[in-house]
Structure 1
Amino acid sequence: VYISKDVADKYNLKKGDRISLKESYKDLRYTFEIKGIYDAPGSMALYMSKSYFNEVFNCQDGYFNGYFSNRKITDLKDDYIASTITQDDLTKVSRQLNVSMGEMFYLVEGFAIVMFIMLIYLLTKMIIENNKVSISMVKILGYTSKEIQKMYIHATTIVILISTLLSFGITTWILSYAFKIVFEEYAGWLPFYVEGSVYIKMFIMTVISYLFVMMIQMRKIKKIPMDEALKNVE
């Protein structure tokens, strides 16, 4: 049989593996070998030929239980139709999630930016406070504000940027693993996917937030008096 990509992702299956299904309300199991994976988003399905289906499930030749059509079927009586599944039905879950939770994530995004700014501010503030005497001393020696920035801020900048890039990969892996655990007991499957533009957006937001903090901290560095070093001379 062929399986849909969602089935393969949820149960970590690949071509050549075997999949076993149990029939509801009966003690019957069917084991199939996977010949391939079909990319059908939003579908938890197995695919087999009609003749093989009838053979496995003891159905008469020519039996089938549904139509798949790209347009509305009008030559069947309503009494013969058990249910109709349309594109609108298949996208209903995603639209519902977007309406109920979509706006909420703007708040999450704003909260994350504020937390990042606070974290970077406290980190850089601690660096400046611990090196206040040293900064005062290099001012006495004639170093300019830009040179002081290179000494105390640039190293932090490099660490922040590298940590941000590394966190993208680590966070993506953690979330993808958490997704599998959360949806393991669900009948369906929602694949974990992050668009490439999201990483670019996050990186730009990180840089802008960091530059905002640096502007504040550079003003603090400029305000450190030269006599700060003389006060602490032993």
Structure 2
Amino acid sequence: MKKQNKHPSSPLETSETPPSSLIDWDSVTHWLEFYGKYLIGMAAILFFFLILLSRFIFNDEKKAEADYFKAANAFHTFELPPTEANTKGQMEALETLKTLLTKRPELHAAYDGMIAQTLINRGFIQDAQPFAESALLRTKKTDLSLYAQFAQTTLSLCNKKYEQALNETQALSKQMEEQADKSRLGETLVAFNLLRLAMLYQQTGALQEEQKAWEAWKLFRKKSPAVYEKLTQAFENEKILLANYIEAREKILKK
């Protein structure tokens, strides 16, 4: 398994936005080019985790309790922050989980999504794919089909299929606009999809469309401030100030 390289620190990673005249725009541009891809994927991954956790199901048969306990312990070991000292133990824990998933198919609903989430976060995209696809197949059979489509695009992004991801994101945006009766998390999905759309326009060089997407994002912010705050908090947890990122992009687009 090959890990992805660490990302550079953000020139915008401050509690206050610096005046335009004090910003090193060469550094900003370099950071945006390098970090934009990560931002696209991160929004997807955060929401992907939320969706799949909602499908957590356990079979409470007493005869399976020992295997369930063993699976819980194995996953706990696997999800710990990786270090040189525990890498071998984590790989062994993953193999234990695979064995238990084969033995107890009902555990797939509990662990497929979380295993995929952990592997994606560590940059092991190909290893994550079977678990992610298994989780998506179950999600598509529920009333969360829109979320399944959003999560499916995560896989396109992880595989660097940006044009395909853009087409999927545009299609989902149109579908949500046509659906009057959105699910209970509908506004959150709209927010993540709109943010992803702007970043994919950036990634594919469609700068006019990107600028329009950021304008739409600002309108959404005014319309749904509570959802906006939740989203920005998710990014702040990853040491990214979303407002600074968007401001920097808009200044670059207006040059």
TM bracket, shorter-chain basis: under 0.3
- Greater radius of gyration (CA): 1
More strand, by proportion: 1
Normalising by structure 1, we get a TM-score of 0.22
